[in-house]
């Protein structure tokens, strides 16, 4: 079966790779003014084509425009503005922390480009999860090759049309295709690979990256838990949890998947979630223009099989229609830890309620599984919040909200352990896609005053011992008042007196030189 017409020919992928490297080696990305121009162009690529992009997302994902604006567009505009305004500061040479032993060498560092970045993006937020890393790559002075998801063909074809119109065609490229095209791209050497998706594909990409020891950023999906305090603001909690689970039809890596709820509180929570459900979809989600569709018929069928095998009790939802890619918002209560729904990330609008004895039981359950991308706690009690967050590990720790932490300016987005590693958004993305290059410039006179001891023939030197900082106070003992600075002060006084009374030659002799 032939590939869709907009797929990139396999033999063209190596040529794109070569052009990207050639463009990067031209040196044009070193200019901060050039980077700012390209960053601004990303913003106008989106701004000028908002309606075309929304239409494409409607075709590919059946998504309401408001969700595209909120989840896909807003974050890109935030990153464009932040990177444009700050890239000059981020890229500026930095002085190292002052150290009396080494200050004469002018130690400094600069964030330099890595080279050519490969961005492999998922289908669920194909604007934000492509253009945001691209902004980081541009700000860092890199070239980039983008591989959009084959599951969003309308949008992916549109992106391939727009990128060369708005961005430098020698440095920024789009490869469209499926597994063969991605496999071909992964056979080549990249400076950094940025992948957002699931852990199974991440293992394949990691294996390919290992051939060239290529650094990676992995942001991976997970089953994100909610821990609920019976004393919480229940109406707010129910609305925010259900909204987070049903937005984009549950196809969000940060979406809450299950709620760890005290057994005695489960009925109360169920009623609150039912009320929120009817408020969100008064005529039913199937008729609502505020509910997205699943990305493909195959994914609907996958969810159908999962819901058919659950041992929990379905409160509402569960109905579906693969031909229209519809799967209804579904609440399942009394889900046990060994339920088929708990085996892997669902990536669909199914919310599970898992009964627990207490908050300690909830914490133990979270820690028995892989590290999630986010842990959500609904409670007005700071002690309750802290108990959960301080005794668990996750990419994000979010109280009284779901999903939106990735869009908050100044916060990193990233996982840990099973949910990935590395960060994106804003300055964190710039840091991820640059290399801190260390530098010193050591004048000749330093050897005469301090570092001459290192040259053979070796002789005892007091200077060497002064390079070694003192250890911290031994536990149980009080620190000395002057410490190391006292030693240096004594040295300066001795040297000054020696110069005054004996001349410079005597000073060098005192220092064992």
Residue 403 annotated in active site: no
* Residue of 152, 94, 306, 345 whose CA lies nearest to 317: 306
312: its two tokens: 């929990």
Q: Where are the alpha helices (DSSP H) in 419-482?
A: 426-432, 445-449, 462-467
Angle subtended at Cα 67 by Cα 61 and Cα 69, rounded to the nearest 5 degrees: 110
The residue annotated as part of the active site, out of 67, 150, 181, 219, is 219
- Give CA–CA dist 468/464, Å, rounded: 7
221 vs 209: CA distance, rounded Å: 20
Instruction: List the beta bridge partners of residue 499.
Output: none
Residues 6+ apart with CB under 8 A from 173: 16, 19, 20, 144, 145, 146, 163, 164
Residue in 60, 191, 61, 79 with CA at minimum distance from that of residue 128 = 79
Give just the sign of the alpha carbon dihedral 49, 50, 53, 58: negative
Q: Which residues on neighbouring strands pair with residue 434, listed in sequence order?
A: 113
Q: Are 85 and 157 in contact (CB under 8 A)?
A: no
Instruction: Give the tokens for residue 282.
Output: 């008064």
| CA–CA distance, 71 with 407 (Å, rounded to integer) | 8
Using alpha carbons, select from 461, 465, 374, 359 the residue that is nearest to residue 419.
374
359 to each of 365, 366, 380, how far by Cα in Å? 10, 11, 15
* Residue 149: both structure tokens together: 């998801």
What element of type H or E holds 320?
strand 320-321
Catalytic residue among 232, 246, 253, 403: 253
Query: Among candidates 471, 440, 421, 513, which has minimal Cα distance to 105?
Result: 440
Q: Packing angle between helix 359-367 and helix 382-390, nearest 10 degrees?
A: 30
Rounded Cα–Cα distance for residues 30 and 26 (Å): 9
Alpha helices (H) in 26-152, listed in sequence order: 32-48, 50-61, 65-67, 74-91, 128-139
| 246 counts as catalytic | no
Helical spans, DSSP H, in 233-296: 234-246, 266-280
Active site residue ranges: 219, 253
């Amino acid at each position: 079966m032939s590939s869709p017409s907009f797929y990139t020919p396999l033999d063209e992928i190596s040529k794109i790779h070569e052009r990207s490297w050639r463009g990067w080696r031209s040196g044009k990305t070193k200019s901060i003014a050039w980077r700012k121009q390209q960053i601004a162009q990303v913003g106008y690529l989106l701004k000028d084509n908002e309606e075309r992009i929304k239409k494409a997302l409607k075709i590919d994902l059946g998504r309401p425009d408001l969700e595209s604006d909120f989840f896909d567009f807003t974050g890109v505009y935030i990153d464009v503005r932040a990177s444009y305004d700050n890239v000059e500061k981020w890229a500026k040479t930095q002085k190292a922390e002052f150290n009396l032993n080494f200050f004469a060498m002018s130690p400094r560092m600069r964030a330099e480009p890595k080279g050519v970045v490969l961005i492999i993006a998922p289908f669920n937020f194909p604007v934000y999860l492509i253009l945001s890393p691209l902004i980081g790559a541009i700000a860092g002075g890199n070239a980039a090759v983008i591989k959009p998801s084959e599951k969003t063909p309308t949008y992916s074809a549109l992106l391939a049309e727009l990128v060369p119109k708005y961005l430098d065609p020698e440095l920024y490229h789009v490869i469209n295709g499926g597994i063969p095209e991605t496999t071909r791209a992964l056979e080549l050497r990249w400076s950094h690979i940025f992948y957002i998706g699931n852990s199974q594909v991440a293992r394949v990409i990691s294996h390919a990256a290992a051939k060239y020891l290529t650094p990676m950023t992995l942001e991976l999906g997970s089953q994100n838990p909610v821990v609920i305090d019976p004393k919480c603001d229940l109406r707010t909690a129910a609305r925010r949890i259900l909204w987070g689970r049903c937005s984009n039809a549950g196809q969000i890596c940060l979406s809450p998947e299950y709620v760890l709820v005290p057994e005695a509180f489960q009925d109360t929570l169920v009623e609150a979630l039912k009320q929120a459900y009817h408020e969100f979809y008064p005529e039913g989600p199937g008729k609502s223009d505020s509910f997205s569709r699943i990305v493909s018929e195959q994914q609907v069928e996958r969810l159908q099989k999962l819901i058919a095998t659950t041992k929990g009790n379905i409160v509402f939802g569960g109905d579906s229609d693969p031909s229209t890619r519809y799967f209804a918002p579904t609440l399942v209560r009394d889900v046990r830890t060994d339920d088929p729904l708990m085996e892997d990330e669902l990536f669909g609008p199914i919310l599970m309620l898992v009964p627990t004895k207490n908050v300690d039981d909830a914490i133990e359950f979270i820690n028995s599984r892989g590290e999630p991308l986010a842990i959500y706690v609904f409670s007005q009690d700071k002690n309750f919040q802290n108990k959960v967050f301080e005794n668990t590990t996750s990419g994000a720790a979010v109280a009284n909200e779901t999903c939106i932490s990735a869009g908050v300016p100044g916060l990193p987005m990233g996982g840990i352990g099973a949910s990935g590693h590395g960060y994106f958004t804003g300055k964190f993305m710039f840091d991820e896609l640059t290399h801190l290059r260390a530098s010193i410039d050591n004048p000749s006179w330093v050897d005469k005053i301090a570092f001459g001891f290192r040259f053979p023939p070796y002789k005892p030197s007091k200077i060497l011992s002064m390079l070694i900082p003192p250890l911290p106070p031994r536990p149980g003992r009080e620190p000395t008042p002057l410490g190391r600075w006292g030693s240096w002060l004594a040295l300066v006084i001795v040297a000054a007196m020696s110069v005054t009374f004996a001349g410079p030659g005597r000073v060098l002799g005192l220092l064992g030189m």
